């Protein structure tokens, strides 16, 4: 497995597949017995101190001090990285602006919402401008608004020179954020590629029709045959056909079948990463 520089790489896998173990090993927090892990050409086992200066880590739980204000947390982390008091203040000011923290950064963290804590935690990893950022399930437990806000912050990172490796159980998250997706199971890579490439591996484009009058079994089978697909659902006035076809082919088949005037709803959905994940792992992506 490799993650290209200057990109966002998502690692997908069910619980226990090895996602967090991978992140902890890359962050030098957990030893590994076999194989090789390299960060920007540095073997983690042999150059742990160097790697610690390269990577930033935001784990599954926000590692911030509740009794301090947000800005005090940022300055504290900067000082731990060896910055002088003046440099720490300057670094904190930069990430406050970059991660839009100004509305709440002067309050004690104990008063923050979950989303605000996660944004502060992410900002804290940036006071030393890491070349590689490790995000372990960064949006777990966040409400939709907080999750979207954090996504916006993550999207900007490669443009600022940071490569991102994130683990997630949310297929939507990988589809929205990732340039590259790696699916792992039991510690092994079972599929990798761009979201588009992975979706293309699945022969399950869906055509869904809702008709004014129910279609017969023969009509449904004939339509599926035109698309070299199969009827996956036929219930009352609803028909779903799956196969390898595009929108134009679906429209042409419906017209040639002579049922276009009877259609109340028509939609064609391309394969999703959910389809890829479930076909590869045989399990749900998230509980």
- Within 10 angstroms of residue 183's Cβ, the number of other Cβ atoms is 24
Q: Report how far residue 110's alpha carbon sits from residue 69's, in angstroms, rounded to the nearest whole number.
A: 8
Q: Give me the pLDDT at residue 286, please.
A: 43
Q: What is the pLDDT of residue 187?
A: 80
pLDDT at 194: 87
* Residue 259 to residue 214: CA distance in whole angstroms: 11
pLDDT tens, residue by residue, 76-95: 999 998 899 999 999 999 99
Residue with tokens 């226990």: 16
Residues 233 and 224 sit within 8 Å (Cβ to Cβ): no
Q: Enumerate domains of the chain plus CATH numbers.
A: 8-192 (3.40.50.300), 203-270 (3.30.70.1560)
Q: What is the pLDDT of residues 133-177, one digit of tens each?
A: 999 988 877 788 888 888 888 888 898 889 999 998 777 888 889
Mean pLDDT of the chain: 87
The per-residue pLDDT for range 192-221, each reduced to its tens digit, is: 888 878 776 665 788 999 999 888 999 999
Q: In this predicted structure, what is the pLDDT of residue 168?
A: 86
Q: What are phi and psi of 57, to 5 degrees?
A: -135, 130
- For residue 52, give the nearest of 132, 162, 137, 164 by alpha carbon: 132
Contact, 101 vs 120, CB < 8 A? yes
pLDDT at 58: 85
Rounded distance between C-alpha atoms, residue 146 and residue 218, angstroms: 49
Residue that has been written with the tokens 């028509």 in this structure: 266
**What helix, strand, coil percent values describe the chain, rounded to 5?**
40, 20, 40
Count of other CB atoms within 10 angstroms of residue 74: 28
φ, ψ dihedrals at 164, nearest 5°: -125, 130
> Residue 267: what pLDDT?
92
Centroid of chain to Cα 142: 14
């Amino acid at each position: 497995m490799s993650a290209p520089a200057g990109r966002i790489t998502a690692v997908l896998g069910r619980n226990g597949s090895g996602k967090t173990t991978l992140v902890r090993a890359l962050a030098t927090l957990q030893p590994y017995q076999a194989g090789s892990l390299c960060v920007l050409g540095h073997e983690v086992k042999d150059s742990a101190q160097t790697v610690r200066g390269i990577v930033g880590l935001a784990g599954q739980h926000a590692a911030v001090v509740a009794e301090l204000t947000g800005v005090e947390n940022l300055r504290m982390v900067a000082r731990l990285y060896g910055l002088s008091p003046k440099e720490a203040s300057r670094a904190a000011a930069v990430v406050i602006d970059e991660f839009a923290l100004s509305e709440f950064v002067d309050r004690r963290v104990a008063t923050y919402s979950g989303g605000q804590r996660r944004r502060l935690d992410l900002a804290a990893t940036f006071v030393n401008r890491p070349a590689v950022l490790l995000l372990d399930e960064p949006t777990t437990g966040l409400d939709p608004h907080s999750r979207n806000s954090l996504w916006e912050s993550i999207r900007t990172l490669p443009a600022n020179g940071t490569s991102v490796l994130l683990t997630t159980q949310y297929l939507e998250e990988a589809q929205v954020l990732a340039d590259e997706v790696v699916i792992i199971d039991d510690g092994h890579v079972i599929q990798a590629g761009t979201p588009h490439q992975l979706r293309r591996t699945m022969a399950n484009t869906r055509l869904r029709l809702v008709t004014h009058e129910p279609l017969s079994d023969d009509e449904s089978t004939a339509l599926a045959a035109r698309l070299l697909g199969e009827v996956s659902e036929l219930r009352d006035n609803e028909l779903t056909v799956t196969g390898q076809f595009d929108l134009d082919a679906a429209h042409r088949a419906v017209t040639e079948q002579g049922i276009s005037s009877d259609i109340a709803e028509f939609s064609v959905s391309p394969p999703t990463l959910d389809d890829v994940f479930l076909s590869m792992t045989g399990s749900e992506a998230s509980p």
